[in-house]
Amino acid sequence: MSPPESWGRYPHVEQHTRSLVWRSDALPRGEGTLLPRGLGRSYGDSCLNAGGTLLLTSGLDRLIDFDPTTGVVRCEAGVSLDTLLRLSVPRGWFLPVTPGTKFVTVGGAIANDVHGKNHHRSGTFGRHVRRLELLRSDGSRRMCSPEENPDWFGATVGGLGLTGLVTWAEVQLVPIRNPFVVQETIPFENLDGFFRVSRESEADHDFTVSWVDCLARGRKLGRGLFYRGNFAPSQFERLPLAKSHLSHGAGLAVPMDLPAFCLNRLSVSAFNLLYYHRQRGRPSQQLIHYDPFFYPLDAVHGWNRIYGRRGFLQFQCVVPHATARDAVKEILERSARGGLPSFLSVLKTFGDLPSPGWLSFPRPGITLAMDFANRGEKTWRLVEELDRVTREAGGAVYPAKDARMSPESFAAYFPQRERFAPYVDPAFSSSFWRRVNPASLPALR
Ligand SMILES: Cc1cc2nc3c(=O)[nH]c(=O)nc-3n(C[C@H](O)[C@H](O)[C@H](O)COP(=O)(O)OP(=O)(O)OC[C@H]3O[C@@H](n4cnc5c(N)ncnc54)[C@H](O)[C@@H]3O)c2cc1C
């Protein structure tokens, strides 16, 4: 078995693993500190524990209860969103919030309090968790919900797996009439165009997200394609079926690590240009299956291997509305100038529904996510600059995507960290936590 890595394949660390089993009374002992591990879809080091032990939750895979009349599902924390969808969609229920991949566990979705294309309407995943059980290293089990042990709930949702192991959780699903989404694609010519379409779309569309051509400059800076949609009603007009639906699930896979030169400025420019112009400057409306609509990247298994062995850094920030225009402009300008093209850049407006977790990342504003191949010093310098712009704009960087933020940045982005710290299980830690809290002494068992 290959050693566990994060989705960004950076950093490479040595760690031990222990598999968890259903209904074990206590957590297994391990080398060094413990950290729960879901499907490893976090990009940086928040799902890594150098020198310590990862508690693999793949054995916690039981569905405990599902009520098809209310849409309440209770399952163990290692169940994936993919499994939940297979159960719930044929019965008319969908996830209340889903990230851009269905290959994440319920435990991972809680620990990062993940967000999706409907953040402006539904907030984060944690808002839809009715209750969960937390198992601590001292063997104690706690029921946590917004009403019962609310402090433990606030610390655990978005708590980066540090407050203990979530063994199971109960989630409220949302009703759907069929598995199709009516999707509109609207090209926008620059950043102002994005802000305009985003404003116009929020009231009537449950799902919004945009792809941005990160290499466009000058008057075209920030141009891209805006996707918005709603689940289709029971009766809908005949609409063209999106092509991506036909090709989805074809089982494409990246068979090996690609050499670094495959992703260069030229190939990324060509991709961005073709992608933008495939829309031919016109809006369109299509019917699309939920799978390619929510999970376009899942169609290519192991797509992170296109970045080769050195991996990549993802940078995702959120900046408040008041500073968003200038900050996003500066970030796009700096990355276009830096000669390090981001293969995929995504822009979205977050709504103002409060996140339930003390360390939850989403907050009102604009979020921008970019992928940078790890080219060493050059990449790090660029991402440091983007971090600085985010800080000065009063924003935050997403720990689930991070492998490099400084303790000072973490303190600025997450002012509730001091309230959170006493809830960290003394036997738990992660590479991320030690990096952003150099003073934290990992409790060795
Ligand atoms: C293609 C892609 C698209 C993505 N899109 C989005 C997006 O749109 N929005 C978004 O918010 N995120 C997104 N992500 C990030 C991803 O949703 C999160 O990193 C998620 O938390 C990963 O879940 P996982 O099961 O893989 O957990 P891991 O990555 O293995 O672990 C994540 C954290 O959860 C903790 N954890 C896992 N299981 C438990 C448990 N049982 N008890 C306590 N703690 C636990 C771990 O300790 C760790 O801190 C995306 C990732 C990818 C690869």
Q: What is the pLDDT of residues 322-364, one digit of tens each?
A: 999 999 999 999 998 888 888 889 999 999 999 999 999 999 9
- Low-confidence winner among 36-50, 152-166, 270-284, 396-410 (lowest mean pLDDT): 270-284
Q: How confident is the model at residue 5 (pLDDT cuts 50, 70, 90)?
A: very high
**Residue whose CA lies nearest to ligand 1 atom number 14:** 99
Centre of ligand 1 from the C-alpha of residue 316, in Å: 14
Report the nearest atom of ligand 1 relative to the CA of 400: 19
At residue 250, the pLDDT reads 53
Answer yes or no: is pLDDT of 276 > 80.
Answer: no
**Residue whose CA lies nearest to ligand 1 atom number 11:** 114
At residue 242, the pLDDT reads 72
Answer yes or no: is pLDDT of 247 > 50.
Answer: no
* Residues in a beta bridge with 118: none
**Residue whose CA lies nearest to ligand 1 atom number 19:** 42
State the DSSP code for 60: -
Q: Which fold has domain 180-403?
A: Vanillyl-alcohol Oxidase; Chain A, domain 3 (3.40.462)
| b/e code 433-443 from CB counts within 10 Å (16+ = b) | bbbbbeeeebe
Centre of ligand 1 from the C-alpha of residue 216, in Å: 31
157-165: average pLDDT = 98
Answer yes or no: is pLDDT of 25 > 90.
Answer: no
Report the nearest atom of ligand 1 relative to the CA of 78: 41
The rounded distance, in Å, linking the Cα atoms of 329 and 343 is 18
Three-class SS of residue 196?
Answer: helix
Ligand 1 contacts CB of residue 102 (under 6 A): no
Q: Residue ranges of the domains in the chain? A: 180-403
Q: What is the percentage of the chain residues whose pLDDT exceeds 70? A: 91
**Residue whose CA lies nearest to ligand 1 atom number 5:** 100
Answer yes or no: is pLDDT of 53 > 80.
Answer: yes
Report the nearest atom of ligand 1 relative to the CA of 109: 21
At residue 146, the pLDDT reads 98
Answer yes or no: is pLDDT of 237 > 90.
Answer: no
Sheet harboring 53-56: ordered strands across?
Answer: 16-19, 53-56, 34-37
Answer yes or no: is pLDDT of 245 > 50.
Answer: no
Is the preceding omega at residue 426 within 30 degrees of 0, hence cis? no
Higher pLDDT pick, 245 / 416? 416
Ligand 1 contacts CB of residue 100 (under 6 A): yes
Answer yes or no: is pLDDT of 47 > 50.
Answer: yes
**Residue whose CA lies nearest to ligand 1 atom number 17:** 99
State the DSSP code for 11: S
At residue 263, the pLDDT reads 64
Query: Residue 27 is which amino acid?
Result: L
Round the average pLDDT of the chain to a whole number and report it: 92
Centre of ligand 1 from the C-alpha of residue 112, in Å: 6
Ligand 1 contacts CB of residue 367 (under 6 A): no
Tokens representing 133 are 């059980």
Query: Residue 415 is which amino acid?
Result: P
| b/e code 260-295 from CB counts within 10 Å (16+ = b) | eeebeeeebeebbeeebeeeeeeeeebbbbbbbbbb
Answer yes or no: is pLDDT of 444 > 50.
Answer: no
Q: Which of 45, 84, 105, 436 to mutate to test the pocket of ligand 1 (most atoms within 8 A of CB)?
A: 105
29-34: average pLDDT = 94
State the DSSP code for 376: T
At residue 140, the pLDDT reads 96
State the DSSP code for 259: P
At residue 152, the pLDDT reads 98
